[in-house]
Amino acid sequence: MGFYGDRKLTAEEAKRLRETDIGPPHYSNFLHPVIKKNYGKWKEHEILSPGVMVHTAESGDKIWSVRVQTCRLIATDTVREVCDIVDKYCGGYVRWTSRNNIEFLVSDEKNLEPLQKELKEKGYMIGGMGPRISNMVHTQGWVHCHGAATDASGIVKAVMDEVADYITTKELPAKLRLALACCPNMCGAVHCSDIAVVAIHTKVPPVDHDRLGKICEIPTVIASCPTKAISPDPAKKSVKIKDERCMYCGNCFTVCPAIDIKDPYRDGLAIVIGGKVNCLRTPTKFSRLVIPYISNEPPRWPKVVAAVKHIIELYAKNARKHERLGEWIDRIGWERFFKLSGIEFTYQAIDDFTFMRETLRNQSTFKW
Amino acid sequence: MGFYGDRKLTAEEAKRLRETDIGPPHYSNFLHPVIKKNYGKWKEHEILSPGVMVHTAESGDKIWSVRVQTCRLIATDTVREVCDIVDKYCGGYVRWTSRNNIEFLVSDEKNLEPLQKELKEKGYMIGGMGPRISNMVHTQGWVHCHGAATDASGIVKAVMDEVADYITTKELPAKLRLALACCPNMCGAVHCSDIAVVAIHTKVPPVDHDRLGKICEIPTVIASCPTKAISPDPAKKSVKIKDERCMYCGNCFTVCPAIDIKDPYRDGLAIVIGGKVNCLRTPTKFSRLVIPYISNEPPRWPKVVAAVKHIIELYAKNARKHERLGEWIDRIGWERFFKLSGIEFTYQAIDDFTFMRETLRNQSTFKW
Amino acid sequence: MKKYETPLLDELEKGPFPSFVKEIKKAAAKNEMANDELGQLEYSFKTKRGYWKHGGIVGVLGYGGGVIGRYSDLPHMFPNVEFFHTVRVNQPSGWFYTTEVLRELADICDKYGSGIMNMHGSTGDLVFLGTTTENLELIFAELTSKEKPAHLRFDLGGSGSAMRTPSCCVGQARCEWANYDTMEACHQITQEFQDELHRPAFNYKFKFKFAGCACDCCASIARSDCSVIGTWKGPILIDQDAVKWHEKKGMDISREIVKMCPTECISYDGKELKINNDECNRCMHCISKMHHALKPSGERGATICIGNKAPIVIGTIISHVIIPFMKMEPPFTEFKELARKMWDWWDENSHPRERIGEVIEFKGMRSFLEAIGVEPIPQMIKEPRRDPFFFFTEGDIERFKKREEEEKKTGKFIF
Amino acid sequence: MKKYETPLLDELEKGPFPSFVKEIKKAAAKNEMANDELGQLEYSFKTKRGYWKHGGIVGVLGYGGGVIGRYSDLPHMFPNVEFFHTVRVNQPSGWFYTTEVLRELADICDKYGSGIMNMHGSTGDLVFLGTTTENLELIFAELTSKEKPAHLRFDLGGSGSAMRTPSCCVGQARCEWANYDTMEACHQITQEFQDELHRPAFNYKFKFKFAGCACDCCASIARSDCSVIGTWKGPILIDQDAVKWHEKKGMDISREIVKMCPTECISYDGKELKINNDECNRCMHCISKMHHALKPSGERGATICIGNKAPIVIGTIISHVIIPFMKMEPPFTEFKELARKMWDWWDENSHPRERIGEVIEFKGMRSFLEAIGVEPIPQMIKEPRRDPFFFFTEGDIERFKKREEEEKKTGKFIF
Ligand code: SRM
Ligand code: SRM
Ligand code: SRM
Ligand code: SRM
Ligand code: SF4
Ligand code: SF4
Ligand code: SF4
Ligand code: SF4
Ligand code: SF4
Ligand code: SF4
Ligand code: SF4
Ligand code: SF4
């Protein structure tokens, strides 16, 4: 039970008790004793199963981590349920990962099996370590964001259900990072993922001229447009958008609520692939566009799911060990990928923005 | 002796005889009989020595080509001297190469040695085939161009004297293509050469305001500037140049004679390296800046020559067989090249123009 | 409480992966806000459209950020989410928690909010998903309350044109490869710049992420304006017995390690693995795959990369190397100074809504490097400039000329 | 004739490489223009500055190009180069000559010009270096004279905002690798577009270069708006005995060939060389280095790449693949049509001084491809787009939606 229990603070209390600029509590308050003791003195690790690894310190101490996938959006009662398990097996110490998974920290090997058993019984999904899929980074979607061209959690759930085997058991050539952003603002930092779903708007946003002049700064609106599609409309004290220059990024909408970017019929999903964050072997890679448009189909977005699955299986079959999806495609060539995958090559896949000169083929060599 | 001999045409004759749009004569008029016979039916070739190769046709016929370096700028009397030799050994058939060399075409093997002997005696330089240096592509320079920041032929002569061994005898890991452009217009297409010298202006050009309004179109002048350094100066009916935005490309000067880009003290030379045209192994590569500035030092530009030599020798010592200069450096990394070469790394080498995002190091991996 | 039919969302209760619908329903069972969130979400699924208004500016006294204002477009249908702001709670470094502290946070979220959290937001915060305007002050007070013991007192994270909540990989807490203490760095930087975090005074957002090595387990290079990536200076130590162990375990050393080394600096003759450390670019491939046999040694520190941002307006930028090697030891004085110098330059040279990476593109690297007092070195670039025009200062040319004069005296060229 | 002291230039008579100073002096010995050129050049060397004025518009009747007007800045010092225009003479394909024709050209150059030529200009022309305005018509008449036999009649090359003199590699005349007849293509295109060559009607220059294979011996990809590069569709034929021959001659096949193949599609076990032709990108490395053992086979044609230009204004562009494979056979009808379609589009979409490559960047590839009637295919790109915004036409979306409806019927997705 929390410090103040069920009791809500009064406004006066709040004023009196509040303190600004204290920052987060120091992490050392929350470190498992074995971790605290061996902090900075780890020697090696071993991945024991798809969701369990052990780290061994120079001292010989060991800490086991059991990773459980979450859907990120979590009810407080689930947090409490997790806490109960953590108390039971982990001495009250737990962490979340950078991909929104839970890591149960176990210092007593004896607890390892019972913990896993209980987790499984309670329906938790253990996995995501090693050359597998781990949680799909994502954003707010219709759950909370104003600009979302799709729901985030919904697609993630549908995709992850489909690829569950690759989380909990099956291996891939290397780690495969999935992500989703619900608009091109890319809060999910989707641009360097092995496979990502990006929700896109596809219609030139209508402008509410009456409101615009009143609630938005015209120069800001004009400056917001990457393609200079927006110009002043002095007559209307508003702006006009040149249809053929707008590529629906929604940035004008972000800076000005009188512009409406959302369109239920036209909003949809694009699939971008072949990105990677780290610099192992090859430098950081961007995710690149392969499927420009799939209609929004809640509740389970079957085509998006099938597309992701299709690409994963192609990768699993063809890549070399340790080769990330993008490394594989960059090695065999994108023309070969399109052929192997049967994915239609579209105008949209040809860059006409910042990276155009770099991504066109300035060489007479390619595969048929 | 030419068709009209010494006689000049009169203006009336000229009017009567001239014909427009006839285009060049058909090349078949000029083909060596062996070439004509075996046109399109060549089987293989062999480079016999640094300046001699033989092509064998499916028919078994052979044609030997003896390549002689030229300085491109050629006196008519030299052309006639060449003609005499060609008549003697090549049945009157000769060609020039895409790098401004002469190829003496020999169908009778017996002529091969005497031809070479005579060429050598007359001071011709035979060579440039195989993994060597061949002629240095260049431009007009002070000989003829208005914008030249240096002389072209002069530097070329000085450099080529220095690397002569690599033309006539010594091998390199692969072909090494040298080039020179006397201003950033790059008429020598210097941007894809193994090593190139680019003459640069380095001073913001003064504007002759009185003339500008009269002889230049102001919008054209403004549009000519890559960095948007030029804006109208309505008071003077001219333009003004924002000093800190000008990178001295000279394009404003190209479109407007009232702008004076040339400056004897400041004009100089930059060295760019690692380009290649063809797509063997690796795609076409740009030449990239390693030395941003060397003063103009006619008549023999000793520092330019030394810099080129220095880089060639480093390459000769370190690259793998068949590896072009740029392939070698891209393999070992530019940071390693700068270290090996001892060349100072300057602000100028960091792109701040179109290719900036692409050429910065977006990865945490590099060599010390 | 109103009972919403959710036939569409119900479809997402099926399947093996944890279901966010179950989570929302769990919260909805006892929370009106969560219940209306459920209803509105079902309506979004049905109509394929989001129903949130543009966020207005709401927050807590004295702060300019930490809260994202949200209002339903359909308050008549879903009155309990008419106000549905998120509160960003600054997570502890490395997302380590005790159950005590988790329960504390869960209680606060229940009491004043929807009972739904995001663990965690993409930037790193622990997010309370949905609360009303009037509850904001109460949440803040209860989070920070002076009455509570230090380890239970949380502060808000960042939003708006401010420094954003820094985050980091687990680092030395549980990883043998961490070249510096990512968690401590993250903590100290967060504490040092509380003002920059809470009171948006920049022209746009600025993010820090701290990764202990090139594996970059917090995606710093792709998700932060300032990416601090651990590295080392020294040879990779090789345990030849362990090499054999990996081989025995089925590793094809030639294919998996030798051939995949980007710098071709590993060789293996079936007996001994050799690394030409001079040519290694410390990519971590061999070390991570042969983790029992290889490990870094020598001096430790980090490479500082700057400039990453999301695609709008000029296309995605990945952070680029600015400082190849910086010692990263508490109190991180050099690093903090660097941050201040960067911000000063950024501030002076940017318009609103321009991230630092964009400004570096607009102004050129030289302006930035000179401002932060860093000399140009080739590690900053993948390759030098391709086009033949570039700026010189008067001083540059004079320096070159002076050097040439000296060369004339010594007879030796300096390139 | 005035005698100039040329102490600086004299330094360039030394050394093994052919001396242009000797050439100028040779001409100067009997030509006043050449003599003043020598004098002015020495003055340039002394003062480190060029002395040529901006070219005025000069030329021959009915043409808008072929001549570069040049005037000395110092006519008082060097009166014979007060007018010193160059005349670009369109070379024969492949720069093949007979001595007869060379003497004809040399005589004309002597009679009306400075007696100095450039063999050849960077674009390909044979250039008469320096003549007066009044001699231009005479030169033109003598070059083209109807009285002369066809093979002695030359025309001018291009200059200004026109199609420029096309050029080509030696191709099938003396190279076993030429995948199409570069010389004939060059000739026919030059003849077809005489109007476009002589009468500048474009918004800027447009260059063609024809190379027979990926070796690109005329630097087409880096020096022409339209680069036509020969290639083939078919396996590389292997003569295993010749493979051995190369090995015996000292070739390290594994290092020099197998390891250097960019697509890793060659293997060699010491006995047999194998090529996985499906994965070969026809780069020519193996073929050119093992030239006795390997040769292309099957259908022949060319890859058409578009867009190269020099760096000013937006940075260098290298031509990019537009048509992966086009049959290139006389009369090159398809190619000529392509050229016309490209020019039409370019014309409609450009401002003055914008090369086609720049306009493709400004307008996007789709506009260009649609205008020339070419479908997008992945061979056109190295990699697909990185940023998540892109244009759709109404038709695109409808097409995608229609397909999805069909998928619903068939139960099979088409990606
Ligand atoms: C727990 C976590 C750090 C944290 O602070 O939370 C973590 C932990 C480890 N990472 Fe990581 N990585 C974590 C996110 C990442 C990320 C970031 C991301 O996914 O957004 C990356 C970059 C991904 C990318 O490049 O796109 C990442 C790229 C790696 C790599 C490089 C893999 C590769 O070859 O491409 C390794 C090395 C390896 O696996 O051999 C690695 C290795 C490891 C090791 C083995 C490090 C160690 O010695 O403990 C840990 C277990 C790996 C595993 O799960 O297989 N970790 N790792 C993160 C777990 C996320 C999750 O819940 O699944
Ligand atoms: C004569 C000429 C064509 C012409 O129409 O005039 C020619 C002729 C040949 N080239 Fe070339 N190349 C000629 C300019 C070029 C150019 C263009 C240039 O330099 O501006 C290139 C592109 C250079 C670049 O990439 O920067 C060029 C790149 C090649 C290559 C690729 C070399 C490489 O591995 O990078 C080969 C293949 C080889 O050498 O193995 C080649 C091969 C050949 C062969 C062997 C072709 C053959 O079977 O006949 C010829 C003799 C090569 C030699 O000299 O070693 N040729 N060759 C040109 C001679 C120029 C000269 O006077 O030196
Ligand atoms: C909550 C969160 C997504 C999530 O579900 O996790 C989020 C949500 C929003 N982001 Fe974000 N961003 C979040 C991480 C990111 C990231 C990833 C990261 O930080 O690692 C990025 C990409 C990296 C970057 O910063 O470039 C990101 C790039 C953006 C952008 C584009 C910025 C740009 O420079 O282009 C915007 C647009 C803006 O700022 O106006 C944006 C704007 C927004 C706004 C505030 C939209 C708005 O204008 O109101 C979203 C509020 C949603 C809501 O209803 O709560 N968000 N945003 C993440 C913050 C949670 C946290 O504090 O932990
Ligand atoms: C003569 C020649 C250089 C040489 O010494 O060989 C030449 C000389 C000139 N070039 Fe060039 N260019 C010559 C080949 C090139 C090439 C290379 C090529 O064609 O392979 C290029 C680079 C490729 C390209 O086209 O992009 C080239 C790119 C330029 C440019 C920049 C064009 C651009 O798009 O950025 C200019 C500037 C202009 O057009 O205003 C230019 C302008 C000029 C002018 C006309 C300068 C002027 O404004 O008066 C030069 C006249 C010099 C003179 O006094 O004769 N020249 N020019 C070449 C033509 C000879 C011939 O017809 O064979
Ligand atoms: S990606 Fe776009 S829609 Fe999704 S949370 Fe971020 S700003 Fe909102
Ligand atoms: S949606 Fe994007 S591209 Fe379209 S007008 Fe708005 S800002 Fe410009
Ligand atoms: S490179 Fe510049 S100076 Fe040299 S010939 Fe071309 S336009 Fe003239
Ligand atoms: S020299 Fe180039 S950069 Fe400078 S003002 Fe002229 S056009 Fe602009
Ligand atoms: S980034 Fe490196 S130090 Fe940090 S957790 Fe990952 S592997 Fe360990
Ligand atoms: S860390 Fe990377 S570059 Fe260094 S030896 Fe290992 S694989 Fe090679
Ligand atoms: S480009 Fe190819 S076909 Fe033409 S000469 Fe060179 S090698 Fe021969
Ligand atoms: S042509 Fe190039 S890609 Fe094809 S097999 Fe030979 S080396 Fe490999």
Q: From the CB of B136, is ligand 8 less than 6 Å away?
A: no
Quote the minimal CA–CA distance from B279 to chain A in Å.
6
Q: Which of D216, D386, D409 to mutate to test the interface with A (most CBs of A within 10 A)?
A: D386
Nearest to A229 by CA among A244, A219, A207: A244
Taking residues B249-267, report their average pLDDT: 96
Distances (CA, A) of A320 to A329, C260, D330: 11, 10, 46
Q: Which ipTM did the prediction report?
A: 0.97
How do the residues of chain A divide into helix, strand and coil, expressed in percent and rounded to 5? Answer: 35, 20, 45
Where is C298: in which H helix or E strand? none
Centre a 10 Å sphere on the Cβ of residue A242 and count the other Cβ atoms it contains: 13
Q: In angstroms, rounded to a whole number, what is the distance separating the alpha carbons of residues A185 and A190?
A: 10
Q: In angstroms, rounded to a whole number, what is the distance separating the alpha carbons of residues B244 and B229?
A: 8
Question: Which of ligand 8's atoms lies nearest the C-alpha of B250?
Answer: 1
Residue type present at position D172: Q
Nearest listed ligand to the Cα of residue D277: 12
Q: In angstroms, rounded to a whole number, what is the distance separating the alpha carbons of residues D231 and A333?
A: 18
Interior angle at CA D106, CA D103 and CA D111, nearest 5: 125
Distances (CA, A) of D246 to B132, B358, D236, D273: 20, 40, 17, 12
Residue type present at position D295: K
Strand, helix or coil at D325?
strand
Q: Which residues of A touch B357 (CB under 8 A)?
A: 354-355
pTM: 0.97
Nearest listed ligand to the Cα of residue B56: 2
pLDDT tens for the 415 residues of chain C, in order: 899 999 999 999 999 999 999 999 999 999 999 999 999 999 999 999 999 998 778 999 999 999 999 999 999 999 999 999 999 999 999 999 999 999 999 999 999 999 999 999 999 999 999 999 999 999 999 999 999 999 999 999 999 999 999 999 999 999 999 999 999 999 999 999 999 999 999 999 999 999 999 999 999 999 999 999 999 999 999 999 999 999 999 999 999 999 999 999 999 999 999 999 999 999 999 999 999 999 999 999 999 999 999 999 999 999 999 999 999 999 999 999 999 999 999 999 999 999 999 999 999 999 999 999 999 999 999 999 999 999 999 999 999 999 999 999 999 999 9
By C-alpha distance, the chain B residue nearest D220 is B277
Q: In angstroms, rounded to a whole number, what is the distance separating the alpha carbons of residues C374 and C367?
A: 10
Q: In angstroms, rounded to a whole number, what is the distance separating the alpha carbons of residues B342 and B334?
A: 12
D47-67 pLDDT per residue, tens: 999 999 987 789 999 999 999
Q: In angstroms, rounded to a whole number, what is the distance separating the alpha carbons of residues B277 and B280?
A: 9
Taking residues B288-304, report their average pLDDT: 98
Q: Which residues of B touch D17 (CB under 8 A)?
A: 69, 71, 125, 157, 160-161, 164, 167
Centre a 10 Å sphere on the Cβ of residue B92 and count the other Cβ atoms it contains: 18
Are C18 and A124 a contacting pair at CB < 8 A? Answer: yes
Quote the minimal CA–CA distance from C71 to chain D in Å.
27
Q: In angstroms, rounded to a whole number, what is the distance separating the alpha carbons of residues D111 and D131?
A: 10
Are C388 and B293 a contacting pair at CB < 8 A? Answer: no
Interior angle at CA C413, CA C411 and CA C415, nearest 5: 170
Token pair in block for residue C201: 């005074």
Smallest Cβ–Cβ distance between C316 and the set D311, D312, D387 belongs to: D387
**D57 or B292, which is more confident?**
B292
Helices D333-349 and D365-372 pack at an angle, to 10 degrees, of 140
Taking residues D391-412, report their average pLDDT: 96
DSSP of A245-269, one letter per residue?
G-----HHHHH-TTB----TTT-EE
D172 Rama class: left (phi>0) / alpha (psi -120 to 50) / beta:
alpha
Nearest to C183 by CA among C207, C206, C211: C211
Taking residues D267-280, report their average pLDDT: 97
Q: Does B357 touch chain A (CB under 8 A)?
A: yes
Question: Which of ligand 4's atoms lies nearest the C-alpha of B145?
Answer: 54
> Are the C-beta atoms of D43 and D57 separated by less than 8 Å?
no
Q: How many Å lie between the centroid of ligand 1 and the Cα of residue A134?
A: 10
Taking residues D211-217, report their average pLDDT: 98
A247 CA to centre of own chain: 23
| Residue with CA at minimum distance from ligand 6 atom 5 | A246
Q: From the CB of A189, is ligand 5 less than 6 Å away?
A: no
Q: From the CB of C177, is ligand 9 less than 6 Å away?
A: yes
Are B35 and D174 a contacting pair at CB < 8 A? Answer: yes
Q: What is the pLDDT of residue C412?
A: 95
Pocket, ligand 12, Cβ cutoff 6 A: D 261-263, 265-266, 275, 280-287
Task: Give percent of chain D with pLDDT exceeding 70.
Answer: 100
Q: From the CB of B148, is ligand 7 less than 6 Å away?
A: yes
Strand, helix or coil at C252?
coil
Q: What is the mean pLDDT of chain B?
A: 97
Centre a 10 Å sphere on the Cβ of residue D3 and count the other Cβ atoms it contains: 9
| Residue with CA at minimum distance from ligand 1 atom 39 | A130
Q: Which residues of B touch A355 (CB under 8 A)?
A: 357-358
DSSP of D275-303, one letter per residue?
E-GGG----SHHHHHTTTTEE--SEEEEE
Q: In angstroms, rounded to a whole number, what is the distance separating the alpha carbons of residues B353 and A1?
A: 59
Q: In angstroms, rounded to a whole number, what is the distance separating the alpha carbons of residues A126 and A119?
A: 8
Going by the DSSP 8-state scheme, the letter that residue C226 receives in this structure is E
Q: In angstroms, rounded to a whole number, what is the distance separating the alpha carbons of residues C189 and C43?
A: 43
Q: How many Å lie between the centroid of ligand 6 and the Cα of residue A245?
A: 8
| Residue with CA at minimum distance from ligand 8 atom 5 | B246
Q: In angstroms, rounded to a whole number, what is the distance separating the alpha carbons of residues A179 and A166?
A: 15
Q: Does D401 touch chain C (CB under 8 A)?
A: no
Are B357 and A362 a contacting pair at CB < 8 A? Answer: no
Nearest listed ligand to the Cα of residue C162: 3
Are C229 and B364 a contacting pair at CB < 8 A? Answer: yes
Q: From the CB of C120, is ligand 1 less than 6 Å away?
A: no
Count Cα neighbours of A276 within 13 Å in the Cβ-side half-sphere: 23
Token pair in block for residue D159: 């200059």
Q: From the CB of C215, is ligand 9 less than 6 Å away?
A: yes
D156-211 pLDDT per residue, tens: 999 999 999 999 999 999 999 999 999 999 999 999 999 999 999 999 999 999 99
Question: Which of ligand 7's atoms lies nearest the C-alpha of B141?
Answer: 4
Taking residues D204-232, report their average pLDDT: 98
> Are the C-beta atoms of B142 and B151 separated by less than 8 Å?
yes
Per-residue pLDDT band at A1 (split at 50, 70, 90):
low
> Are the C-beta atoms of A174 and A324 separated by less than 8 Å?
yes
Q: In a 10 Å sphere around its CB, with 0-12 CB exposed, 13-18 middle and 19+ buried, how is residue C412 labelled?
A: exposed
Centre a 10 Å sphere on the Cβ of residue D349 and count the other Cβ atoms it contains: 17
> Are the C-beta atoms of C55 and A146 separated by less than 8 Å?
yes
Per-residue pLDDT band at B8 (split at 50, 70, 90):
very high
Q: Does D311 touch chain C (CB under 8 A)?
A: yes
Q: What is the mean pLDDT of chain A?
A: 97
Q: Over 90: is that where the pLDDT of A299 sits?
A: yes
Per-residue pLDDT band at B2 (split at 50, 70, 90):
confident
Q: How many Å lie between the centroid of ligand 12 and the Cα of residue D208?
A: 26
Q: What is the pLDDT of residue B188?
A: 78
User: Which of residues 260 through 289 in chain A touch B, CB cutoff 8 A?
Assistant: 279, 283-284
Are B283 and A363 a contacting pair at CB < 8 A? Answer: yes
Q: Does D264 touch chain C (CB under 8 A)?
A: no
Nearest to B14 by CA among D33, D157, D190, D108: D108
Q: In angstroms, rounded to a whole number, what is the distance separating the alpha carbons of residues C166 and C186?
A: 6
Question: Which of ligand 10's atoms lies nearest the C-alpha of C285?
Answer: 7
Q: What is the pLDDT of residue D234?
A: 97
Task: Give percent of chain A with pLDDT exceeding 90.
Answer: 98
